[in-house]
Amino acid sequence: MNTNVKNQNGYLKKLRASFPRLAKRHGTPLFVISRTLLLAQLAKFRKLLPRVEPFYAVKANPNPDVIRTLAAEGCGFDVASVPEIEWVLAAGADPKRVIFANTIKRPEAIKYAIRHRVRLMTFDSEYELNKIARHAPNAQVVVRIKVPNVGSVVELSLKFGAEPADAIPLLLKAKRLGLEPAGISFHVGSQCLQGNNYLDALELTRMILNEAENKGLNLKLVDIGGGFPIRHFDSDPDWFAEIAPALNMELSRLFPDDIRIIAEPGRAIVGPSGFLLMSVIGKSIRNNKHWYYLDDGVYGALSGTVFDHCKYQFATLKQGPTQLTTLAGPTCDSLDIISTAEELPELELGDLVYAQNIGAYSIAHATHFNGIPPAKTIFVP
């Protein structure tokens, strides 16, 4: 085991030991984001893909401390709305390192972006291109193409992406409209477990760049999107580390050094930095199985089980023989069942249960259903 892994394991042990103190001080449910783990993930991304500039996908977790920390490290940002632009610029982000990557933008959002010197924008249809030309005539535009999402947990090509055959005609029209065609983007789907999705998309992108050059288009940007997978369970392999070597080889083979490569990681940066602390607020025995009702659930920070198709690892600091249990949330909706097959020791009212690797697409989706507020969020060293 190398020193970095030992240090991180030691840090995680200390952090988990602090959970009862943090819960007593702040109450539960409590969403804990670790600055140390956030920076470790950013460093890991840069180490695994040294040529790729990370533009953090703010939608994954828009916590102000997360944004400020990443901005201070020179990270770029992928934004999808006026508030997200406001947040990253307020945190000190360079507008030149911000991409407005929502392919369906409100006209007033386009005008706001260009007024604040955010010029780089994606599009995937002629309608969007005309809209950008009308409201941001000096914008740099990146065409998002549709690529295979096979094996990804969340399929994104159903809603987004132009057909690859339409990429060049769209970019030529962008030039005729007075816009600056900048490059090509794609997204292989969220939590992508198939490295071939990236490789196939890169081959397709290279073919489009070749055709663009023949048509007199000088494209110098490739945006490889997000989807870089993380481990949600201790037993999971490190998929990202396994995918990265082949991805680096293809980037070197297909794109000369004058082609800028960016990506839009969200989960890969913030996912492992988050923990959700919950208290047992009720218990029962149903069908000969223990049920524990927690003070957060699928309408709160565990919303990723619905919107992100995600499964989380639940644990408790309590020791003892385990038994098959069901965890449920605090609302009056029977949809609010978190898990029906957890191995946990017998718990009492007030005991803590926590979920790890929950930093992305969780608290960002949380609602106030039943009048129950989302978990309080704290940022720890």
| Catalytic residue ranges | 332
Helix runs in the chain, H state only: 3-17, 19-26, 35-48, 64-72, 82-90, 107-115, 126-135, 167-176, 195-214, 239-254, 267-270, 304-307
Radius of gyration of the chain (CA): 22
Q: Give phi and psi for 94, each to the nearest 5.
A: -75, 125
Q: Which residues pair with 377 in a beta bridge?
A: 31
Backbone conformation region of residue 287, classed left if phi is above 0, alpha if psi is from -120 to 50, else beta: left
Q: Are 194 and 150 in contact (CB under 8 A)?
A: yes
CA atoms within 13 A on the CB side of 58: 29
Element containing residue 193 per DSSP (H, E) = none
Instruction: Identify whether the C-beta of residue 119 lies closer than 8 Å to the C-beta of residue 136.
Output: yes
- CB atoms inside a 10 Å sphere around CB 216: 8
List Cα–Cα distances, 376 to 22, 23, 119, 245, 276, in angstroms: 11, 10, 35, 39, 10
C-alpha separations of 268 from 47, 50, 117, 183, 210 in Å: 13, 15, 27, 24, 31
